[in-house]
Homo-oligomer: A and B are copies of this chain.
Amino acid sequence: MRPATSPLPAPGPDPLRADARRNRERILTAAREVFAERGIDVPLTAVARRAGVGMATLHRRFPTKESLITAVFHEQFTACVAVIDAGLADPDPWRGFNTVLVEGFALLAADRGFSAAVTSAFPDAVGTGTERRRAFDGFATLTRSAQASGRLRPDFSPTDLGLLVAAVNGVTTLLPGDAAAVSRLVSYLIDALETRPDRGPDGRCGTTGR
């Protein structure tokens, strides 16, 4: 370990940068915990307090709240993109769509801060990163394929994803730790979104193919 009193920047990895990196990690960890517990509407002072740093340090590492949110949820966003890619790779688009809802909502349910962050981005997606746009575009593509296959209701819009995310967030927030409740809601939503062959043009069973 280098002595803290070292008067000059050392060649190679310098102590100030190491400090900055440590602070950044400490702030990210604190923000992840605070957002997961209390959502993303908490004041940043709560994050600074948990991290044990001053507001000046927090602002130096993360000039805006958005930049902090983006950094905190980078991993979860990446996992969401992977789930959507897996859905798109499924030769059965309705099964792929189901995978995205089941596995994507499991990721969301694990962290109420994350679903609040995603909802604030859908459907406007203002100032978002590449992952978020990719995720939404992938979901829109999968929606169209699942609709073309005849299994997903034609009146479902990809922007309804924000509505579904908000509904799951409500369960995560008001029934915390109840993973069974989340999967029960997701299963209801999937049932709601499947085309009903019994509701053809004349409203009777069997009037549309399956």
Contacts and interface: CB of A to CB of B under 8 A. Distances in A.
Interface residues of A, number: 32
Q: Which of A166, A175, A196 has the most CB of B within 10 A?
A: A166
Contact of A170 (B171, B189, B197, B210): B171
Interface stretch (A83-91, A141-149, A180-188): A180-188
Contacts of A174: 115-116, 119-120, 165-166, 169-170
A182 B188 CA distance: 16
Given A196-B196, A206-B205, A175 B188 contact: no
A160 B116 CA distance: 23
Interface in A173-210: 173-175, 181, 184-185, 188-189, 191-193, 196-198, 205-206, 210
A166 B162 contact: no
Interface in A153-168: 160, 162-163, 165-168
A120 B174 CA distance: 8
